[in-house]
Structure 1
Amino acid sequence: MKKIFKILGLSLLVFLVYFSYTTYPKLDLISGFSAKSLSSGHFIDNRSQEMIENGDNDIELMDLAKNKIDEKGKFATSSVYGLKQRKAIYREGLGATLINSYFDATKPYEVPRRTKTTTNLAFPYGKKEPKDTTFATIDYAKLNAAVANAFDKNGQKTKRTRSVLVIYKDQMIAEKYDTGFHKDSKILGWSMTKSITSALFGIMQKQGKIDIFKPAPIVEWANDERAKITIANLLNMNSGLEWDENYDGISDVTKMLFLAENMSQTQLQKPAQFKPNSHWNYSSGTTNLLSGILRNQFKTHQEYLDFWYSALIDKIGMNSMIVETDMTGNYVGSSYGWATTRDWAKFGLLYLHKGNWNGEQILDESWIKFTATPTNTSSGNYGAHFWLNTGGKFPDVPKDMFYCSGYQGQMVAIFPNHDLVIVRMGLKEDPEFDFNGMLSGIVGSLKK
């Protein structure tokens, strides 16, 4: 009997050592991700806890989290084996914020002032339903087949597409949703939010309020090698700053998203590893640094909060969108933009039309060109916070396509020479989801 207990004790010790080394350090991230996802999905899009746990949180290790939603208090909590409990609070206008034990949830806070104008126009330029338009230049059988093929059949969980929307010559020609989702469902764009952040710099540049080709206005860099880093370098992700964008464990990006109070400071504090414009390195920290730079262009925090919506989001009718903030009230421009599929499509149309929105020039044409110009050392895959197909990542898709891209396969794809925008939202990304097949199939339905 003693031998059995000795073996059991040794086995338990081995397990505890293994757990402590491999999993315990991740508990903050697991419970943090789970609480944030639950609070956002429930309070922004009215999803049930079950739907979120079986959908948004259906990724490795997330099943370890035990979750709870407090309807009255408007927050969600998560823990793992009763350890490392995390809390994410929801505040109207700011979305859900993952907080720490020092955060004062009773402190007054500012929210963006929004103007949601309505017009008597049909989608995409108004709130009325899209016109029922038929084009002789479209093979609708091919189009519908390509869209339908993007979705799982009953019971499958391989493609995990939530929505696909196609706009051709300003008219919606296809729109399809998975079970549980519809035209009013707000879906997290993850890193597609980076492209929103980029657009705001384009607006500031057009207004003459900022020069992206000058050194970034960061006093902490003034007396070292980082002083030469420009805003353009940051937008192109080739600043040369150190950064680890790894979502499989504890890294710069996961510590920023699930532990940091002020996410705009995380990249700012990193040293330079390379000279600017010599090394491309994708970094969510860079985008939140840019959000902090934007904040410093305004005298008050209220002006900063308002600008994102008044200058861009509400101006082009993306009225469903909400960009969430960190604990300091700065927008998490790297990752936390929510909107309906239709509103994500509007953002694509703005770039398709070279910065013009129904007659108003929101962005200069030169900004669109800058956005879609390959960043040095990116192998033709990246521009200014937009991804490119110049390098042929999708071999059967036109190389002039450029696109917003987010974790788990969110995409707004823009085809300048086809007058086409395609949106896909889901939970699987390339190569698990065949973007090349979907995109080429839709483009191929347009008759030459």
Structure 2
Amino acid sequence: MPRRTLLAAGLLLAGPLAAETWPIPEWNSQPAAATPAVRALDDYAFPARDDLGRGGVRSDALLVVRDGVIVHERYAAPTTAQTPHLAWSISKSLFASVLGVAYGEGRFKLDDAAAKHYPPLAEHPALKMGHLLNWASGLDWQESYEYAPLKSSVVAMLYTHGRGDMAAFAAGHRPAAAPGARFSYSSGDSNLLGASLKSMVGEQAYADYPWTALFEPLGIDSAVWERDASGTFVVSSYAYMNARDLARVGLLMQRDGRWGERQLLPQSWVAFNRTPFANYRPDPQQPDDAVPGGQWWLNAEVEEARRPWPDVPQSAFAALGHWGQGLYVLPEQKLVVVRYADDRDGSYSHNELLKRVLAAYGEQP
């Protein structure tokens, strides 16, 4: 897969931006003292494990950035600061930022018919780009994983008869609801977005577009993104990057799409990412589920439900992935948190980790 290295020069800032710290070209790292709150954070993220490697929560990496400066960084072997870690469904939010650049270039609108950009969706003329971004296509998709593989649309898409052309596989599902009528989390919706970008920018530019549009401007040089046999990025699942590079995307989002003096993502796009889907209704069986925005997850209070992470500010939002991957943004505290992991037993809690991050780093220096 293509990888790109940015030869970044220093950025001269003036006026109100001069007080900001940016990783241009590299992060400023100022590790905090090992206070009891910091130790409590590490104790939760990196618990002692038994001789078989068991111990509940299992973090591979934990990185905390406060106001553009790394204040906490720890890894568990074999992961290191240089390891491009599988992001799983964090990939969806990464691609939303790639699409944000295309949106700012005028390549599509939220109310465009999805078939305009991906013609195999012609049988679904009411389906719009905004519906796909809200995981609200209305297609009859089953997002179950290894726990129910025989009924799983996503397992079939990633591993069996859908893997050759994942977007076409998703587009072939029959409708179960009107587009936009309800939220139904779907890796198929995300891969349809990946195929839609191809027609927006053309085949030749598509192969490098995540790098030229997003990764290179941010100074990201560890990114790898797998594509299926049709040449479409597996937007749902298969981006890899190291923790420091993923934190760059978090900082971009924390600062409303601005990178240094450049407004890389339109502020209106970031606002869309952080707006709850209007027709979302929480599942009473899953009270801790975050609220869907535009391919990002929100700690928002919505009708009929409490805040998903009660010890965390309502303004927090995140990119989340299978087995405990997390990129968390807490704008009020100017915090970005990256966690890579391999949780298998369901014991990990977003709220608990972030509560401990806030106890250790929530106060501004």
CA distance in 2 between counterparts of 1:447 and 1:310 reads 36
Determine if the alignment matches structure 1 residue 149 to structure 2 residue 52.
no
Correspondence for 1:206:
104
Whether the 8 Å CA contact 2:56–2:345 is kept in 1: the answer is no
CA distance in 1 between counterparts of 2:209 and 2:132 reads 20
Root mean square deviation of aligned Cα: 2.3
Correspondence for 1:302:
204
Correspondence for 2:8:
118
Large movers: runs of 4+ above 4 Å: none
Superposed counterparts of 1:81-230, under 5 Å: 94=1, 112=2, 114-119=4-9, 125-128=23-26, 130-132=28-30, 140-155=35-50, 156-216=54-114, 217=116, 218-222=118-122, 224=123, 226-230=124-128
Correspondence for 2:259:
357
CA distance in 1 between counterparts of 2:26 and 2:294 reads 33
Q: Over residues 342-386 of structure 1, what are the superposed CA-to-partner deviations in whole Å (9 max), with x where a residue is unaligned?
A: 111111111000000122111011111100101133337110111
Gaps of at least 5 residues in structure 2 are: 12-20, 283-289, 302-306
CA distance in 1 between counterparts of 2:105 and 2:324 reads 33
CA distance in 1 between counterparts of 2:73 and 2:184 reads 35
Correspondence for 1:272:
175
Correspondence for 1:409:
324
| Percent identical | 28
Alpha-carbon deviation of 1:434? Answer: 2.5
Determine if the alignment matches structure 1 residue 383 to structure 2 residue 286.
no
Q: Which has the larger radius of gyration?
A: 1
Whether the 8 Å CA contact 2:120–2:168 is kept in 1: the answer is no
Whether the 8 Å CA contact 1:294–1:304 is kept in 2: the answer is yes
Aligned residue identity for 2:328: A
Aligned residue identity for 1:419: K
Determine if the alignment matches structure 1 residue 256 to structure 2 residue 189.
no
TM-score w.r.t. length of structure 1: 0.70
Aligned residue identity for 1:323: W
**1:333 counterpart (231, 235, 260):** 235
CA distance in 2 between counterparts of 1:389 and 1:184 reads 30
Correspondence for 1:425:
340
Aligned residue identity for 1:438: L
Superposed counterparts of 1:10-89, under 5 Å: none
Aligned residue identity for 1:279: R
**1:312 counterpart (183, 190, 214):** 214
Q: 1:262 to 1:171 in 2, by over 3 A?
A: same
Alpha-carbon deviation of 1:435? Answer: 2.2
**1:290 counterpart (174, 193, 204):** 193
Alpha-carbon deviation of 1:400? Answer: 1.1
Q: Over residues 397-423 of structure 1, what are the superposed CA-to-partner deviations in whole Å (9 max), with x where a residue is unaligned?
A: 111111000010100000111111111
Which of the pair has the greater relative contact order for Cα pairs under 8 Å at 6+ separation? 2
Give SS of 1:265's match. helix
Give SS of 2:130's match. helix
Give SS of 2:275's match. coil
Whether the 8 Å CA contact 1:407–1:429 is kept in 2: the answer is no
Whether the 8 Å CA contact 2:3–2:222 is kept in 1: the answer is no
Whether the 8 Å CA contact 2:27–2:69 is kept in 1: the answer is no
TM-score w.r.t. length of structure 2: 0.85
Q: Over residues 313-365 of structure 1, what are the superposed CA-to-partner deviations in whole Å (9 max), with x where a residue is unaligned?
A: 12211210111111122111110000101111111111000000122111011
CA distance in 1 between counterparts of 2:64 and 2:154 reads 32
Correspondence for 1:435:
350
CA distance in 1 between counterparts of 2:309 and 2:345 reads 10
Whether the 8 Å CA contact 1:411–1:424 is kept in 2: the answer is yes
Number of equivalences: 332
Give SS of 1:425's match. strand
Whether the 8 Å CA contact 2:139–2:175 is kept in 1: the answer is yes
CA distance in 1 between counterparts of 2:344 and 2:335 reads 21
Give SS of 1:163's match. strand
Give SS of 1:297's match. helix
CA distance in 2 between counterparts of 1:395 and 1:335 reads 28
Q: 1:139 to 1:220 in 2, by over 3 A?
A: same
Determine if the alignment matches structure 1 residue 373 to structure 2 residue 283.
no
Q: 1:412 to 1:240 in 2, by over 3 A?
A: same
Gaps of at least 5 residues in structure 1 are: 1-93, 95-111
CA distance in 2 between counterparts of 1:219 and 1:274 reads 20
Whether the 8 Å CA contact 2:333–2:363 is kept in 1: the answer is no
Alpha-carbon deviation of 1:154? Answer: 4.3
Alpha-carbon deviation of 1:194? Answer: 0.3
CA distance in 2 between counterparts of 1:429 and 1:403 reads 20
